[in-house]
């Protein structure tokens, strides 16, 4: 389907991260792929995202298109800069103001969140709305993502009633992770310039605090999250992070649309980060990737004949890194190798480095954030570990499938929706019911046993690599939603 072409954008995505311009996790990957897939379908698509400092110097160097985007109350004289670049058929607008966005990281320092995150992202949202208006064409749909852009839904909810320009712009609030809500003190609500009508339990108020994600959830026309299973889970106290009540009230306007995997970037047949590419027909390249990985991280040559287990992710409770640390001694007894790439909790980082000394030649821990290495670990390992406590969707397991590295994962959220568990004729990986160390260990043991049976393993690998989680299918889910909302024909 192609929407009718006039000057109105069909969809404008608002996001605090977009690959390849900025990234701390899966949100960036999604916003690097979904808009471009929709654009390839003939839609007119734009993305608005902050102009973080380092982008000015990097290879994309977006060009300045406005230095006086007026943001208005509560900062009358304050303006935003707007930069522009085109990326894979999508218009990308970067909202700049150095005092807010030219920092060493996006949201926090190692000591905690930036003290002015509320002001920074309120500014960002206001600037997005102002720029939409200054561009002169109201979008059919504005799709916000996570708490950092949630206030856009609130402003549009209000403006639709007061400014004919936005009268028929629909809003979607996409939740990528309910645990991050943008929760601040009540005082900051009153300083934000949001209309007072939004200060209520059916608006921004959450146990006396100002909750930006809740504001988006209560103000948007429609709410999405990133997998069908997570869409069900967040209606329960276990996964709802306190918002299960308000989400249940809006259950009729909530949809789980599974994320996709960007095979232009994550494909072992053409991945330029790999020492050697490979495909289901020619798997020798994968062995070469493994050898190189072992050598590069001083892992024992003996591991060429034993499975190597990989973990890539934020070193946080969500990802169950503590479960991995719990079972590490037993894993070492299985004579397997383990490669961990991540950053996050400082104690966990330190513990991993200590353990690397204890298990020399068998454990490699790389603390940091390296896009290239993430690709090489996916390719060089045999088994991918994902013992998440909850997982809205998860992209790394989808990448692992395509790289022939069957995952061992908790059966939660998007992991449940993307991995067909062993034993079955369709198995693509291994899952365990609850995030508990003994269940995790049992599942890894099972995977290692199957790995030892080369034929059985080859079948699982082949099936994993031929799964199709391309964005085309996921984008269809968003198109259907926009049509159901009456925003697109
Ligand atoms: P989440 O968004 O919850 O962190 P996802 O699985 O959806 O989890 O996406 C994580 C993304 O971030 C993947 O692209 C993964 O490769 C990447 N990633 C996570 N940690 C690192 C790291 N330390 N270095 C490089 N890439 C990382
Ligand atoms: C979040 C979730 C992750 C999801 C990603 C992209 O960071 O934790 O599960 O894949 O967003 O939607």
Give 244-276 pLDDT, tens digit per residue. 999 999 999 999 999 999 999 999 999 999 999
Average pLDDT, integer, range 57-85:
84
Report whether 393 contacts 322 (CB < 8 A): no
Q: Which ligand is closest in space to the CA of residue 395?
A: 1
CA 117–ligand 2 middle distance (angstroms): 20
Q: Which mutation among 25, 143, 181, 321 tests ligand 2's pocket best, with the greatest number of atoms within 8 A of CB? A: 25
Give bridge partners of residue 367 from the DSSP assignment.
342
Which CATH fold topology does 284-468 show?
Rossmann fold (3.40.50)
Q: Which ligand is closest in space to the CA of residue 400?
A: 1
**What is the atom index within ligand 1 of the atom nearest the CA of 30?**
7
Q: Which mutation among 340, 374, 417 tests ligand 1's pocket best, with the greatest number of atoms within 8 A of CB? A: 374
From 71-75, 163-167, 192-196, 366-370, the region with the lowest mean pLDDT: 71-75
Cβ–ligand 2 distance for 28 under 6 Å, the answer: no
In terms of Cα–Cα distance, which of 311, 313, 314, 315 is closest to 337?
311
Q: Which ligand is closest in space to the CA of residue 145?
A: 2
Average pLDDT, integer, range 313-317:
96
d(CA 27, CA 24): 8
Specify the residue with its C-alpha closest to ligand 1, atom 2: 26
Element (H, E) at 371: helix 371-380
Q: Which mutation among 26, 213, 407, 474 tests ligand 2's pocket best, with the greatest number of atoms within 8 A of CB? A: 26
Q: Which mutation among 396, 409, 417 tests ligand 1's pocket best, with the greatest number of atoms within 8 A of CB? A: 396
Cβ–ligand 2 distance for 391 under 6 Å, the answer: yes
Residue 445 clears pLDDT 50, i.e. is over it: yes
Average pLDDT, integer, range 59-72:
89
Q: Which ligand is closest in space to the CA of residue 24?
A: 1
Residue 277 clears pLDDT 70, i.e. is over it: yes
**What does the domain layout of the chain look like in residue ranges?**
11-260+472-484, 284-468
User: For residue 1, what pLDDT is reported?
Assistant: 37
User: For residue 116, what pLDDT is reported?
Assistant: 95
CA distances from 286 to 292, 384, 465 (A): 10, 14, 12
User: For residue 3, what pLDDT is reported?
Assistant: 40
**What is the atom index within ligand 1 of the atom nearest the CA of 27?**
2
Residue-wise pLDDT for 226-235, tens only, equals 999 999 999 9
**CATH of span 11-260+472-484:** 3.40.50.2000
d(CA 23, CA 19): 6
Better pLDDT: 444 or 72: 444
d(CA 145, CA 167): 21
CA 394–ligand 1 middle distance (angstroms): 9
User: For residue 7, what pLDDT is reported?
Assistant: 82
Average pLDDT, integer, range 179-205:
96
User: For residue 59, what pLDDT is reported?
Assistant: 80
User: For residue 260, what pLDDT is reported?
Assistant: 98
Average pLDDT, integer, range 66-83:
83
d(CA 175, CA 214): 10
Whole-number percent of the chain with pLDDT over 90: 93
Specify the residue with its C-alpha closest to ligand 2, atom 7: 26
Cβ–ligand 2 distance for 258 under 6 Å, the answer: no
Residue 39 clears pLDDT 80, i.e. is over it: yes
Helix (H/G/I), strand (E/B), else coil: 261: strand
Q: Give the chain's mean pLDDT.
A: 95
CA 193, 176, 205: angle at the middle one, nearest 5? 35
User: For residue 75, what pLDDT is reported?
Assistant: 61
Report whether 85 contacts 108 (CB < 8 A): no
Cβ–ligand 2 distance for 25 under 6 Å, the answer: yes
In terms of Cα–Cα distance, which of 47, 46, 40 is closest to 9?
46
d(CA 122, CA 215): 12
Better pLDDT: 19 or 72: 19
Residue-wise pLDDT for 207-231, tens only, equals 999 999 999 999 999 999 999 999 9
CA distances from 126 to 17, 74, 199, 422 (A): 17, 10, 18, 49
CA 391–ligand 2 middle distance (angstroms): 7
User: For residue 73, what pLDDT is reported?
Assistant: 61
Cβ–ligand 1 distance for 316 under 6 Å, the answer: no
Specify the residue with its C-alpha closest to ligand 2, atom 5: 26
User: For residue 54, what pLDDT is reported?
Assistant: 77
Question: Where does residue 430 rank: exposed (0-12), middle (13-18), buried (19+ CB within 10 A)?
Answer: buried
Cβ–ligand 1 distance for 178 under 6 Å, the answer: no
Residue 74 clears pLDDT 80, i.e. is over it: no
CA distances from 306 to 19, 255, 384, 420 (A): 35, 42, 14, 24
pLDDT tier, 4 (very low <50, low <70, confident <90, very high otherwise)? very low
Residue-wise pLDDT for 420-437, tens only, equals 999 999 999 999 999 999
Report whether 387 contacts 410 (CB < 8 A): yes
Cβ–ligand 1 distance for 343 under 6 Å, the answer: yes
Alpha-carbon torsion (219, 208, 128, 114), positive or negative: negative
User: For residue 334, what pLDDT is reported?
Assistant: 97
Specify the residue with its C-alpha closest to ligand 2, atom 11: 176
Residue-wise pLDDT for 322-352, tens only, equals 999 999 999 999 999 999 999 999 999 999 9
CA 314–ligand 1 middle distance (angstroms): 7
d(CA 75, CA 72): 6
CA 472–ligand 1 middle distance (angstroms): 21
Residue 60 clears pLDDT 90, i.e. is over it: no
Q: In what order do the strands lie in the sheet with 205-206?
A: 183-184, 209-211, 205-206
pTM above 0.95, yes or no: yes
Cβ–ligand 1 distance for 260 under 6 Å, the answer: no
Cβ–ligand 1 distance for 312 under 6 Å, the answer: yes
Whole-number percent of the chain with pLDDT over 70: 98
11-260+472-484 and 284-468: same fold? Answer: yes
User: For residue 110, what pLDDT is reported?
Assistant: 84
Cβ–ligand 2 distance for 81 under 6 Å, the answer: no
**What is the atom index within ligand 1 of the atom nearest the CA of 343?**
23
Average pLDDT, integer, range 75-85:
86
pLDDT tier, 111 (very low <50, low <70, confident <90, very high otherwise)? confident
Residue 2 clears pLDDT 50, i.e. is over it: no
d(CA 339, CA 117): 34
Backbone angles phi, psi at 92, to 5 degrees: -110, 120
């Amino acid at each position: 389907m192609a929407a009718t072409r006039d000057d109105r954008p069909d969809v404008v995505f608002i996001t605090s991260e977009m690959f390849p311009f900025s990234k701390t996790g899966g949100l960036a990957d999604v916003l690097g792929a979904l808009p471009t897939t929709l654009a390839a379908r003939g839609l007119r698509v734009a993305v608005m995202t902050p102009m973080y400092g380092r982008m000015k110097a990097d290879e994309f160097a977006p060009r300045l298109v406005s230095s006086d985007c007026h943001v208005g109350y509560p900062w009358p004289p304050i303006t935003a800069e707007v930069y522009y670049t085109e990326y894979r058929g999508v218009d990308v607008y970067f909202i700049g103001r150095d005092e807010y966005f030219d920092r060493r990281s996006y949201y926090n320092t190692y000591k905690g969140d930036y003290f002015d995150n509320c002001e920074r992202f309120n500014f960002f949202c206001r600037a997005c709305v102002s720029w939409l208006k200054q561009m002169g064409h109201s979008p059919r749909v504005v799709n916000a993502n996570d708490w950092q852009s949630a206030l856009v839904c609130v402003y549009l909810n209000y403006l639709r009633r007061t400014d004919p320009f936005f009268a028929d712009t629909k809003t979607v609030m996409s939740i990528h992770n309910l645990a991050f809500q943008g929760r601040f003190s009540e005082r900051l609500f009153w300083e934000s310039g949001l209309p007072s009508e939004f200060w209520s339990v059916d608006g921004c108020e959450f146990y006396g605090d100002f909750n930006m994600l809740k504001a988006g959830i209560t103000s948007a026309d429609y709410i999405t999250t990133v997998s069908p299973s997570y869409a069900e889970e967040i209606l329960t106290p276990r996964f709802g992070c306190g918002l299960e009540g308000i989400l249940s009230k809006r259950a009729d306007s909530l949809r789980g649309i599974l994320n996709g995997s960007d095979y232009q970037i994550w494909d072992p047949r053409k991945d330029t980060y790999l020492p050697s590419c490979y495909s289901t027909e020619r798997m020798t390249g994968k062995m070469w990737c493994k050898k190189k990985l072992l050598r590069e991280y001083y892992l024992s040559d003996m591991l060429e004949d034993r499975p190597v287990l990989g973990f890539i992710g934020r070193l946080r409770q969500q990802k169950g890194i503590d479960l991995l640390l719990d079972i590490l001694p037993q894993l070492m007894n299985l004579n397997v190798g383990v490669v961990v790439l991540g950053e996050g909790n400082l104690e966990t980082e330190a513990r991993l480095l200590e353990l690397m000394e204890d298990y020399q030649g068998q454990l490699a821990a790389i603390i940091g954030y390296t896009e290239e290495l993430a690709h090489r670990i996916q390719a060089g390992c045999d088994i991918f570990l994902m013992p998440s406590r909850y997982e809205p969707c998860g992209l790394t397991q989808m990448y692992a499938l395509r790289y022939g590295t069957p995952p061992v994962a908790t059966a939660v959220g998007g992991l449940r929706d993307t991995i067909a568990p062993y034993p079955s004729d369709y198995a693509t990986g291994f899952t365990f019911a609850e995030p508990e160390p003994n269940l995790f260990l049992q599942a890894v043991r099972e995977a290692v046993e199957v790995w030892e049976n080369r034929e059985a393993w080859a079948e699982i690998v082949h099936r994993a690599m031929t799964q199709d989680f391309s964005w085309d299918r996921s984008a269809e889910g968003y198109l259907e939603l926009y049509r159901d909302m009456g925003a697109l024909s």
